[in-house]
Amino acid sequence: MSEDRIWRSSKEIIMDAYERIRKYQSGELLPARTGYAYLDKALLGGFYPQHAVAIGARPGVGKSYLAQKIMSNVMNVNINPQADDYVWLRCEFEMNPEDLMLRSLSKKMGKDIQDILLNEMSDEEIKEMQKCLKEENSSRITYIPKPSTVDELQNFLWNSYMPANKDKKMVFVSIDHTALIQGTGDAKRNIDSLITMCNIAKRTFPNIFFLIISQLNRDIEGRRDPKDHMPKQSDFYQSDTLGQLCTAMVALNIPKRYGYSSYMQFPQGWYPNLERFKSESRRSFRVDGLIFHHIVKVRQRSLEEIEAIHVDIMKGYERYYPDGGVVRQERPGGSDAPVGSGKPDTTVVTLPPPPPSIPLEQQYIPPSDDFNVVHDETPY
C-alpha cells in the first residue's frame, strides 16, 4: 500500500484482521497477562497491541505502584512466555527513577526505605541488594526520567524507539502521569496533545501499547451520599479525551481516607464475589484496610459481564477479612461464634490497624507469582 494513501480497501482490512486472529489462535501471538485476573478477564485475556489502559486515583492512593506491579508481571517470563520479546519505555514524569528503585528494593528486601538509605548493611544484605538491583537492570527497559514535551516524546518514538523495536511482539509505553507533560499551552491543551499523539501512535505502530496513569479530580473526596461514592469515568482528569483513547479505565479508591464508615450502597445479593468485604447489612462495603479497584470503562465487554470491582487488602488487615467471610471473636461465655452469624450475643470485632510506619507500597498484598492465583480473587 502506498505510504501517502489515507484509505484502505475492505479486502485489505479483512485480510489483516484474519491474519491477526489466526496468529492469536495458533499461539504465535499472546495477550500480555497482567497478573490481576479481574483485569485480564475484562481485557479478553490481557493487554493487546494498539490498545491503551488508564489507571487513575487521587494522590497517594497507589496508582503508580499498581502500574509498576502490573508492568512487572507483564515483563515476567514466568507469567508471559513471550516477555523476552517485549520492551518497556517508562516515562517517569513524577517520581525519580532512583526513588522507584528504592521502592522496589524496599518491597523485595522487606526493609523500610529509610533503613536501606541510612543504616549499614551486613555482607549478606549487600549481596541481596545487589541481586535485587541486577534484576532491575534489563536491556528491555528504557527510561525517560523527567517530564518531556509532547514533541520530544513523539520525536523519540517515531525516529528512534519504535524503528529500533519494530519487530518486537509488544512495545509498552507507560506515562506517569499525564498532568506533568510539558508544553507551551495550558495543562488541558498539553494533555489533549499528548492523548492525540498516543492515539496516532497506536494507529501507526502495530505492536505498541500505552499504560496511562492519571489523577482523579478532587470532587470524589467530598461525596457524602453512599450512592455517589463509586468513581466514574468523568472523575478522571481530562476524562473526555482520555476515554476516547483507552480500551479500559481503572479507578483506585481508599474510602477510609474520606472518613467513610462504610462504602457505597447497593441491593443485597450484588457483588457475590466480594461477600467477605461487606458490612453486616450486606448492602455496603467495609472500609478498614481496603483498596478498591473500579473498572469504570471497558470497550470490548459491558460492565455487567465482568467483575467491575476488585479489592486489595493492606498488609496488617488480613484477619479482618478471612476467606469464610466472617471474623471470629472469643466471647465471655467461652463461645467463639462467627461475628455476623446472627446469634444475639455476637459482637463486632475491632482489630488494631497495622503500625503506621509501614509504607503504602508495602501494605499491598500483591498478586501471586502464579498468575492463576491472585489474592482476593478466589471464590468465597
Mean pLDDT of 179-186: 67
d(CA 257, CA 31) in angstroms, rounded, equals 36
pLDDT of 276-297, one tens digit each?
999 989 999 999 999 999 999 9
3-state class of 255 per DSSP? Answer: helix
* Residue carrying C-alpha cell 486515583: 57
CA distances 357 to 152, 255, 312, 315, 362, Å, are 40, 20, 19, 12, 10
What is the residue extent of each domain of the chain? 33-317+353-363
The residue type of 41 is K
CB 208 within 8 A of CB 124: no
Phi, psi of 47 (to 5 degrees): -80, 135
Residue 264 falls in which region: left (phi positive, over 0), alpha (psi -120 to 50) or beta: left
Which residue, 357, 198, 375, is CA-closest to 290? 375
The residue type of 148 is S
pLDDT of 256-266, one tens digit each?
988 898 999 99
pLDDT of residue 182: 66
Query: Would you say residue 97 has pLDDT above 90?
Result: no
Phi, psi of 361 (to 5 degrees): -65, -20
Which residue, 107, 112, 114, 176, is CA-closest to 144? 176
**Among 3-7, 75-79, 109-113, 313-317, which is the least confidently predicted range?**
3-7
d(CA 332, CA 183) in angstroms, rounded, equals 66
Which residue, 329, 308, 292, is CA-closest to 56? 292
Largest Cα separation within the chain, whole Å, is 84
- Quick one: pLDDT band at residue 228, thresholds 50, 70, 90? confident
Query: Would you say residue 331 has pLDDT above 50?
Result: no
Count of other CB atoms within 10 angstroms of residue 363:
18
**Among 72-76, 177-181, 195-199, 354-358, which is the least confidently predicted range?**
354-358
d(CA 284, CA 273) in angstroms, rounded, equals 14
The CA-based dihedral angle spanning residues 54, 60, 66, 69, taken in that order and rounded to the nearest 10 degrees: 140
- Quick one: pLDDT band at residue 329, thresholds 50, 70, 90? very low
CA 198 to the chain's CA centroid: 19
Q: Where are the alpha helices (DSSP H) in 205-277?
A: 239-245
Mean pLDDT of 146-152: 85
d(CA 198, CA 205) in angstroms, rounded, equals 10
Residue bearing the bigger pLDDT, 53 or 222: 53
Phi, psi of 328 (to 5 degrees): -100, 145
Q: How far apart are the first and last CA of the chain?
A: 54
Q: Where are the alpha helices (DSSP H) in the chain?
A: 10-26, 37-42, 63-74, 97-109, 113-118, 123-136, 150-156, 162-164, 187-204, 239-245, 360-363
Report the range out of 94-108, 337-351, 355-369 with the highest average pLDDT: 94-108
Q: Are strands 248-253 and 290-298 parallel, antiparallel or unpaired?
A: antiparallel
Q: Which CATH architecture has domain 33-317+353-363?
A: 3-Layer(aba) Sandwich (3.40)
pLDDT of residue 47: 95
Give the DSSP letter of residue 263.
B
